[in-house]
Amino acid sequence: MTETTNSYDMPDERGHFGPYGGLFIAETLIPAVEELDEAYQKYMTDPEFMAELDKDFQHYVGRPSPLYHAERWTRELGGAQIYLKREDLNHTGAHKINNTIGQILLAKRMGKKRIIAETGAGQHGVATATVCARLGLECVVYMGAVDVVRQKLNVYRMQLLGAKVVAVESGSKTLKDALNEAIRDWVTNVDTTFYIIGTAAGPAPYPAMVRDFQSIIGREAKQQCLAQAGKLPDALLACIGGGSNAIGLFYPFIDDADVRMIGVEAAGDGIETGRHSAPLCAGRPGILHGNRTYLMEGDDGEIIETHSISAGLDYPGVGPEHAWLKDIGRAEYVSITDDEAVEGFHALTKMEGIIPALESSHAMAYTLKLAPTMKQDEILIVNLSGRGDKDMHTMAEREGIKI
Amino acid sequence: MSRLASTFAEFKQSGHKALIPFITAGDPSREFTVPMMHAMVEAGADIIELGVPFSDPMADGPVIQRASERALAHKMSLRHTLEVVSEFRSSNQNTPVVLMGYANPIEAMGYENFAQAAENAGVDGVLTVDLPPEEASECATLLKAHNIDQIFLLAPNSNIDRIKKMDALGSGFLYYVSVKGVTGAGHLDTGDVKRKLTDIRANTQLPVGIGFGIKDAETAKVIANLGDAVVVGSALISKIEENLDSPEQAKQEITELLKSMRLAMDSQG
């Protein structure tokens, strides 16, 4: 008999992670997600598709990304051996392309000619515009008007790549509103359009599909850690907005019960101020954007405005699998304020000569707290999910420097 | 029999086609809604659809999005919407009221609490845009226990299997979304609607309401010929938006539009 009780097998066939996930969308979109689910189920076990994906990962994205032993930072903090999973070295500068490469290959096989996406910091928008340019597909990216201003550089990058960037003026004008607008576009153009969702959230099969494409991060990290250190890591650390880089790192380790998994949410001005983006730490379960998950909401179920220094974490929900991993106690979720994230940003930049994205800086900031509490023979893998070039403007402004 | 079911049964006998206006509760103000509901009944509305304001109305076009924003600006909520229905019911026990909105406000209130409160308020049907049959069975069962119909949306791309699913789980009526798109979209093709209705009729005995993209008396008349009910929303809410400084004017223009629709729908013999 095979022992299966301890092996993790979420989601169920209807996309549920316990009570989370699911298919909370308008009827018009049901045929679209059914078609997508069929393609996803078919191609994820198709050797030819997987070979093409591997080839693109290797030659276009630049995988495997290094697992870098940050020795100076390790010595400085005096605790765990810190290893950085260098997703910042991927083409386009973040982990986002692992997913867009996968979804665009699906779109191609499904014969879809028009691609839409939402973006917060612009990294997913850039990663989508990039793969569309490569395949010559029409690309429309929805971005909150507030984010368009704070991420000008990425807007220009998307435009250079041939994408049309639509500034969304409704609601809070940030990532959640970009998602609303992308969903409206999808409903209207459902026959021709493939929606590349950027994080491990949304209606089934997106949370599982995005996780599967991103789990290349964890598979590589596991192999690299075994090769370099001869054992599994003791803890994994990643920042969480929607949570795709975190689930990508965590997923291949879920059945390794001794490996701690820690997700870092954005506490913005501080959880106690209410101005944050930390639904797992301070929200409650609800339904938004196609899935049930932890949300930031008011008493009457209205979604409340979020805040984070990093546009990529500025979202009131989180991927449903994280909601489940929290409830079953398999992963821990903590939060880091804007100020602490800035500290993390400077720490990595000065100690290792690597400028992290403000999103990833949340994980760096928690490293400053966690590593010293761990033993020197323990291993901490931190996902460096993106590079900080896009944040030069935000950082300079914050520190009163004109560039 | 629910108030919706008996209303439609009666109309079937007489050949009357139902006119269902939609407004968002609390738009432009909470005081506006109940008198507007009564005025719409006087103008010929048979059933009233009341939008529950939500912060992220993903299936709605700009007109209804802004209605939601205006209502939320003065803290209109699901609780307050139920109070509005209650107030309407105190002087109208006949006209069915259907709530239309999104799942999260109901989820936040709790399904059992909501079903009970909705029954107490006098709600007859609930239409939740982002609660397709896959996720709706818990809610539908609770609503049924409280004598409230769960109304499902059918889309142009819903296949026969889905029509059967909605027929099995839904009650009151089915709402056919006549275009692929958001509310207030402008490209309704009556030929397409006619073809789709043949499929729908073949697979359900439930009455069929048709909405999305119906803006004037002429379209209302054509659509009334195809379905059992005509739903009009964005065209009414536009009147509110055009007259934000004069709610009385908005009320008058809405009643006029409804009267013209009623007249056109009734004049087809």
At A196, the pLDDT band (50, 70, 90 cuts) reads: very high
Dump the DSSP string for A134-180.
HHT-EEEEEEEHHHHHHTHHHHHHHHHTTPEEEEE-STTSSHHHHHH
Q: What is the pLDDT of residues B105-124, one digit of tens each?
A: 999 999 999 999 999 999 99
User: How far apart are the CA of B218 and the nearest CA of chain A, in angstroms?
Assistant: 24
ipTM above 0.90, yes or no: yes
How many C-beta neighbours within 10 Å does residue A373 have?
10
CATH at residue B259: 3.20.20.70
pLDDT at residue number A294: 98
* Residues A138-160: tens digit of each pLDDT: 999 999 999 998 888 899 999 99
CA angle B127, B103, B35 (to 5 degrees): 55
pLDDT at B216: 94
Q: What is the pLDDT of residues A89-114, one digit of tens each?
A: 999 999 999 999 999 999 999 999 99
What is the pLDDT, as a whole number, of residue A152? 87
Mean pLDDT of A115-127: 94
In the three-class reduction of DSSP (H, G, I as helix; E, B as strand; rest coil), residue A115 is classed as strand
Amino acid A100 reads: T
pLDDT level of residue B257 (50, 70, 90 thresholds): very high
pLDDT in tens, B11-36: 999 999 999 999 999 999 999 999 99
Cα gap B132→B139, rounded to integer Å: 11
Read off the amino acid at residue A274.
G
- Please report residues of B whose CB lies closer than 8 A to that of A171: 55-56, 69
What are the pLDDT digits (tens) for B169-228?
999 999 999 888 888 877 788 899 999 999 999 999 999 999 988 999 999 999 999 999
Pairing of strands A138-144, A114-119: parallel
Q: What is the pLDDT of residues A303-326, one digit of tens each?
A: 998 999 998 899 999 999 999 999
Q: What is the pLDDT of residue A164?
A: 98
CB of A371 closer than 8 Å to CB of A80: yes
Burial class (CB in 10 A: 0-12, 13-18, 19+), A305: middle
Q: Is the peptide bond before A316 cis (omega within 30 degrees of 0)?
A: no
Which of A123, A158, A170, A140 shows the shortest CA–CA distance to A311? A123
Sequential DSSP letters for B80-120: HHHHHHHHHHTT-SSS-EEEEE-HHHHHHH-HHHHHHHHHH
Q: Nearest CA to CA, how far is A293 from chain B (Å)?
A: 11
Contacts of A144 in chain B (CB under 8 A): none
Report CA Rg, chain B.
17
Vertex B66 angle, CA B62 and B71, to 5°: 155
Q: Residue B113 half-sphere exposure, CB side, CA atoms within 13 Å?
A: 9
CB under 8 A, 24+ apart: contacts of A154-160: A154/A119, A154/A121, A154/A122, A154/A123, A154/A125, A154/A126, A154/A390, A155/A122, A157/A122, A157/A126, A157/A129, A158/A119, A158/A122, A158/A125, A158/A126, A158/A129
Q: In A25-111, where do the E strands start and end? A: 67-69, 81-86
pTM of this prediction? 0.96
Average pLDDT, chain B: 95
With a cut of 60, say whether residue B269 has pLDDT above it: no
- pLDDT by residue (tens digit) across A241-288? 999 999 999 999 999 999 999 999 999 999 999 999 999 999 999 999
Q: How many other CB atoms are found less than 10 A from the CB of residue B171?
A: 21
Task: Give dist(CA B106, CA B117) in Å, integer.
Answer: 11
A1 falls in which pLDDT band (50, 70, 90)?
Answer: very low
Domain that holds residue B184: 3-266
Q: Which two tokens stand for residue B139?
A: 């809610």
B237 touches chain A (CB under 8 A): no
Say if the Cβ atoms of A288 and B69 lie within 8 Å: no
**pLDDT at A2 > cutoff 60:** no
Q: Supply the pLDDT for residue A4.
A: 40
Task: Examine the residue annotation and report whether B134 is marked as an active-site residue of this protein.
Answer: no
Query: Taking a C-beta distance cutoff of 8 angstroms, is the pair B52, B25 a contact?
Result: yes
What does residue A207 show for φ and ψ, rounded to 5 degrees?
Answer: -55, -45
Q: Which of B57, B109, B181 sits opposite A187 (nearest CB)?
A: B181
Residues of chain B positioned with their CB less than 8 A from the CB of A289: 56, 58
Residue type, B163: I
CB A318 within 8 A of CB A201: yes
Mean pLDDT, chain A, integer? 96
Average pLDDT over residues A352-357: 98
What's the N-to-C CA distance of chain A in angstroms? 65
Q: Which of B10, B42, B46, B49 is catalytic?
A: B49
Report A:273-332 residues touching B (Cβ under 8 A). 285-290, 292, 295, 297, 299-304
Catalytic hit among B27, B60, B149, B167: B60
- Residue A11 contacts residue A41 (beta carbons within 8 Å): no
Whether B162 contacts chain A with CB within 8 A? yes
Q: How many domains does chain B have?
A: 1
pLDDT digits 0-9 by tens, B152-171? 999 999 999 999 999 999 99
Tell me, yes or no, if B24 comes closer than 8 A to chain A by beta carbon.
no
- CA A297 vs. chain centroid, Å, equals 21
φ/ψ (deg, to 5) at A18: 60, -130
Distance from CA of A374 to the nearest CA of B (A): 40
Token digits for A379?
């291993």
**Which residues are paired to B210 by β-bridges?**
B176, B230
- What are the structure tokens assigned to A230, written together? 């001869």
Q: How many Å apart are CA A143 and CA A131, to the nearest integer?
A: 18
Interchain CB distance below 8 Å, B54 and A301: yes
Q: What percent of chain A has pLDDT over 70?
A: 99
Give the pLDDT mean for A363-392: 97
Give the single-character DSSP code of A37. H
Q: Which residue has the tokens 């309407």?
A: B88
What is the least distance, in Å, from the CA of B212 to any CA of chain A?
12
Annotation marks residue A118 as catalytic: yes
**What sign does the dihedral A123-A399-A146-B128 (CA atoms) show?**
positive
Residues of A in contact with B55 (CB under 8 A): 171, 302-304
